[in-house]
Structure 1
């Protein structure tokens, strides 16, 4: 999607004091990597999206933590080295939601089959050029509607996590269960992040995670810690034809519109908004995003990993907390591989210690980074399409319907020259 003057203005507005527009030799423009505290903080900025779904799928769908985190680590490393921008890696939201809701049907082998099918689909549409053709269906109004939708969803989910009565997702007992401890921690961490949001000495996301893990240990998290090192059991998955059919109907078909609109086209558009003028944008295209997702998802499915994607919300989260280069995905990728191969059950237990409300705070700030992108729109017709998409998406369970309707309405308005 072409850059606009407004997108350049937005990028300048959002840029940190050390960002490339002010320093020509900065790694942001030169294609280098940064590995400082802000980049590290940004690397962990998207845990609010990733951990709730991943931890729930490991616990409920009986997945191997090592298989799951190793796959995430690989795709993060690939993204960091290929794009050299803070491109995120997230679990497929539709797949995760359905798998968690129907564990008796969506078994480990069905999840593996979904990763294989999803990876194969992405490789085909990327290598044949179909993804670039499909990307043309998404006008700026449609893309901004998708970004607004994800921003509002993140805000809603983040607040739900903050006000949830249970502190731990792992089921560990909270020592002060009779008090609203999760809410108190959430309010405290929200205030802390707000104070440290642009602090380079004490990065906000790292401070939130330190407070989260510390409070989790203090309030009963020790009871679920497993002091076992090394990788957990990794199983080779051989899905049956029935598994593939279940995965296609229940998981992949509902996911595809969301992946095209958000993980491919939306991520490319958000890159353009946040890194306007950066020569690295030449690679940050919808077709390339489909390719990197396909390369890792296809083989990872044979080991029962959670199917993964990129995403506009994850990019906003990494950026909001300080990530500007490929250093952030490389660091978080190495961290996940360390958990998968060295820390094993102990690493998974430590991540499960982070209170829901801390993850909720990270989600809230990611949502607040996405929603203002709507201001790039110029006409009432564009605002109409974007708001229509967001309204439908918040009312129906499958956001793909909202994107499809938005595309149709946008095409009708432009074709019939409708004025609003």
Structure 2
């Protein structure tokens, strides 16, 4: 469950707001999870391409054909970079500060969309506001705030406990010190248990339960069986919009976050299991040259997802392979009928999940330590947000 905090809100939002084929996405991402877990032997994550998802959620004109076009073109370029050995060269040509600026801009775009979802009642398939959200109810502001506080409590930085300073000479004092240290150890154990909870998954399950409570008749709308797959038709204009608004801003993020950063992190977390940029680039490319033609969300690896899997105990490819089997079963058994349940999913809760997904993406820019790098990062962010296009910020810088 380590990287579901990113997977769940993005896929859920795109399913509700852009009619993404949920069943097909679950089937293909499940297959990706199983294969990459078997190939690499580490908890290699499979996540949605965040920049493409952010563009789709913030731009009503960026629909499923544009999403798929972006994924196919991004995957094709990554595949070529991998098989020709040009991945490392491409990495050297793209300044890290520019990529961090795009990440910050896209993360803020997620966050602003999330605030809109929480504050206003949304007609998600059309992304139109229908008025202020009420405080009470199964999709009210109070529920959203409670979920917000729960995630902060579970995922917060917590406190740094200090050890004892001096050894006491008095026996009674020593006993008191032992009691204090025991209480501290108990607090540490409790905090460790709390911090290990998969908060996003718990919130997601709560949302599903509330969806059934809000509309019990949805049970009768569930149909068993996989989704009917068909090739997505993409016009010339949709290819163009997909490349300009999706591929261009996504490509540098995929090169660094999905390939280079994952190579470095995997060598740090799993000594002796080092992967080349070429192999990761090829696998990301192949994933998006297959499933996206049938409507599956463009996918990639990610350093954040790998770190999340490791944080929650993932040490081998078995954990992501099991996750892949679970996705595959859901996609084959329930298919697109899952969308009927998700149509009743509390949008306020969805907004909270999206908020933290945006924060996670934006925080990647925190490693810009010099004034020059920070200046470039903030300039890219400002240009991307003002121009409503991460591609514009990337090209200008």
Under a length normalisation based on structure 2, what TM-score does the superposition of the two structures give?
0.73
Residue equivalent to 2:35: 78
Q: Distance in 1 between matches of 2:150 and 2:64?
A: 40
2:148 aligned residue:
190
RMSD between superposed Cα atoms in Å: 3.8
- For 2:343 and 2:330, the matched residues in 1 are separated by 12
Does the CA contact (< 8 Å) of 1:170 and 1:352 recur in 2?
Answer: no
CA positional deviation for 1:395: 1.4
Q: Secondary structure at the match of 1:165?
A: strand
Structure 2 equivalent of residue 228 of structure 1: 223
CA distance in 2, matches of 1:327, 1:116: 28
Matched residue count: 351
Aligned to 1:19: none
Q: Which has the larger radius of gyration?
A: 2
Aligned-partner Cα distance in 1 for 2:49–2:355 = 18
Cα pair distance change 1:56/1:250, threshold 3 Å? same
Aligned-partner Cα distance in 1 for 2:50–2:366: 27
Give the 3 Å change call, closer, same or farther, for CA 313–75 of structure 1 in structure 2.
same
Alignment map for 1:13-412 (pairs within 5 Å): 40=1, 42-58=3-19, 64-83=21-40, 84-91=42-49, 93-94=51-52, 97=55, 101-102=60-61, 116-166=72-122, 181-197=139-155, 199=194, 202-220=197-215, 222-223=217-218, 226-236=221-231, 243=234, 245-268=236-259, 270-271=261-262, 277-278=268-269, 279=271, 282-283=274-275, 285=277, 287-310=278-301, 318=308, 322=312, 324-325=314-315, 326=317, 329-406=320-397
Could you tell me which runs of 5 or more consecutive residues in structure 1 were left unpaired when the two chains were aligned.
1-39, 407-420
Once the 2 structures are TM-superposed, how far is the Cα of residue 305 of structure 1 from its aligned partner? 3.1
Task: Tell me if structure 1 keeps the 8 A contact 2:56–2:67.
Answer: no
Q: CA deviation at 1:182?
A: 3.7
Higher relative contact order at CA 8 Å, sep ≥6: structure 1 or structure 2? 2
User: What CA distance in whole angstroms lies between the structure 2 residues aligned with 1:158 and 1:202?
Assistant: 23
> What is the TM-score when the length of structure 1 is the normalising length?
0.69
Contact 2:34 2:320 survives alignment (8 Å): yes
Q: Distance in 2 between matches of 1:311 and 1:164?
A: 31
